[in-house]
Amino acid sequence: MVNATKGLFISCDIPMAQFIINLNASLPALQKFIIHVIDSTHLFVQPHVSEMIRSAISDFRDQNSYEKPN
């Protein structure tokens, strides 16, 4: 019997995939969202996490940039 799982298919570069995997590892067991790590640039995750991932990435980006004060 074929089994279907609903989720989000993520396609990105290797560093971003590692970032997301690390994010997943840092969460408590109940909140882990990665269903399958398909290969080095593709992940399959739970359907509701897209906003969470996006905001985590943009936070990370903000931490890594410096704006000269006026």
Partner 1 sequence: MPQVRIIAKNFMDMVASLPAMKLDRLYANPFICQAILRSLPPLAKKYVLEMLYIDGPVSAKMLEEWVLADGSSKHRIALDRLIQLRIFTETVDRKKETSYRLNPTFQINLRKHLIDREVLPREPMPSNIVARLPSLEELEAYALGQWECFLLQLINSTQAEKLTNFSSSMMKVFQRGLLSQREKEASRLTESGFQFLLMDTNAQLWYIIREYISNSEERDIDPADLISFLLELSFHITGEAYNMNTLTEIQRHMIKDLADLGLIKLQQGRKESWFIPTKLATNLSVSLTDSSSRKQGFVVVETNFRLYAYSSSKLHCEILRLFSRIEYQLPNLFVGAITKESLYNAFENGITAEQIISFLQQNAHPRVAERIPSVPENVADQIRLWESDLNRVEMTPAHLYDEFPSRDVFEAACDFAREWCGLLWEDSKKMRMVVKAEIHMHMREFLRGQK
- Binding residues for partner 1, rule: CB under 8 A, are 1-13, 16, 20, 35-36, 38, 42, 44, 47, 50, 53-54, 57, 65, 67
The whole-angstrom distance between residue 2's C-alpha and the CA centroid of its chain comes to 27
Describe the crossing of helices 14-26 and 50-63 by its angle, rounded to 10 degrees. Answer: 110
CA 17/CA 36 separation, integer angstroms: 12
In the bound complex, what is the minimum distance in angstroms from residue 37's beta carbon to partner 1? 12
In the bound complex, what is the minimum distance in angstroms from residue 11's beta carbon to partner 1? 5
In the bound complex, what is the minimum distance in angstroms from residue 31's beta carbon to partner 1? 18
